[in-house]
Amino acid sequence: MRKPLALIVEDEPMIVVDIEASLKQAGFAVASEPSCVRARQILALVEPDVVILDVLLQDGVSSSVAEELVARNIPFVVYSATDIEDRGEAFKAGTFVEKPADDSVLVALASSMARHPRLANTLPSG
């Protein structure tokens, strides 16, 4: 059975390294991209189970990525130090986590949101 895929869309390498390690330890396969353009190229090729998305990237505000995630019904976490107000309606469809946050928060959210049967079966029922 394949691992669930988490896509990290973040342009700060040290943040990516930390989140990636935590997600891999939790059983995810992980891809990361630093820009809107590259993220959209990846989304044209693969269907991630969950996305962790920063608002401000190398090439601007990631609203086009958020819009694509909403259109394709891909769950996402908005992980940013930037307020999402006035940045686009699509961001409101994600779950906002303000930077900095402990990686365990992001992993727990990613695990609960991911569209993957294996993860859903390992989550505690509530």
Say if CB 106 and CB 18 are below 8 A apart: no
Beta bridge pairs of residue 79: 97
Q: How confident is the model at residue 2 (pLDDT cuts 50, 70, 90)?
A: confident
- What domains lie within the chain, and their CATH numbers? 5-95+114-122 (3.40.50.2300)
pLDDT in tens, 57-72: 999 999 999 999 999 9
Tell me if 67 sits within 8 A of 94, measured CB to CB: no
| pLDDT tens digits, 87-105 | 778 999 999 999 999 999 9
What number of residues does the chain have?
126
More confident residue, 60 or 82: 60
Of 19, 24, 33, the C-alpha closest to 5 is 24
Percent share of the chain, pLDDT over 70: 90
Res. 123: pLDDT tops 70: no
Predicted local distance difference test score (pLDDT) of residue 78? 95
For the chain, give the mean pLDDT.
88
Three-state secondary structure of the chain: CCCCEEEEECCCHHHHHHHHHHHHHCCCEEEEECCHHHHHHHHHHCCCCEEEECCEECCEECHHHHHHHHHCCCCEEEEECCCCCCCCHHHHHCEEEECCCCHHHHHHHHHHHCCCHHHHHHCCCC
Whether the pTM exceeds 0.85: the reply is yes
Could you report the per-residue pLDDT of 10-69, keeping only the tens digit for each? Answer: 999 999 999 999 999 999 999 999 999 999 999 999 999 999 999 999 999 999 999 999
Mean pLDDT of 69-91: 88
